[in-house]
Amino acid sequence: MDVLIDNSDNTILFHELAQPLRNLLKNSDNMPENDSAKKLTFQYFVKLLLYFYFSGLDSLRSLITDLKTKDVAKIGLFLVGLSTIHDAFCRYQASLFQTLYVALLKVVPVRSIEEFQELGPIVFVDGSIFPIAISAIWAEFKTHSNAVKLHLGFSLNDMLTSCFLVTAASYDERKAVLLTSPIVATCRLSCSKTLTTNQLTL
């Protein structure tokens, strides 16, 4: 993952990138109704996730290492335990982040490419497989392994994620495309009768 910030050299950039979300988190409409967390509140959880992404970290353990070894206090971060972060993923529902994302799109201008607008909506879809530890029928992948697949749609017109779908790892990519977006351009799909006439295949 590309590193967008280096907290040891550029704290101003982190604050600039986080500012739109920080303003939205002051609005109670974008917050959980009863946030009883004493240390890892929803606001701080969002800030940690931003740091995780902007720093190009590859795991939560890498995040904990950064919190322990780097001077993150100057961007308002402090050490929390790995289990506490895991609990936060369970405590704060995905709908909270969806609400925050929609609110963010209303206040941050989205760049568009005029040439793509003339072609109509174009969405790239690709699937990535993630191994999981639990054993479940819906996660069966291979004889001795379980996994899920994340199908992600990226809107070329808006340069934003437009849709996603989580399925069993063996789920057919073509079926996922038809479920995630009605108009799709994808480099993974070959010409197929399953594609509708308004879909573009590269």
Which structure tokens are listed for 27?
């609005």
Q: With cut-offs at 50, 70 and 90, classify the pLDDT of residue 90.
A: confident
More confident residue, 37 or 7: 37
Domain positions in the chain are 11-107, 114-201
The count of other CB atoms within 10 Å of the CB of residue 143 is: 5
Which tens digits make up the pLDDT trace of 146-197? 788 888 888 887 777 877 788 888 787 777 777 665 544 443 443 333 333 3
pLDDT at 79 over 90: yes
First to last CA, the chain: 26
Which structure tokens are listed for 92?
């704060």
Which tens digits make up the pLDDT trace of 92-146? 888 888 888 888 888 887 776 777 777 777 888 888 888 876 666 655 666 667 7
Task: Average the pLDDT over 27-35 and give the result.
Answer: 80
pLDDT at 85: 92
Q: Distances from the Cα of 36 to the Cαs of 7, 31, 88, 96, 156, in angstroms?
A: 29, 12, 11, 15, 40
pTM, two decimals, is 0.63
pLDDT at 65: 93
pLDDT at 140: 62
More confident residue, 33 or 134: 33
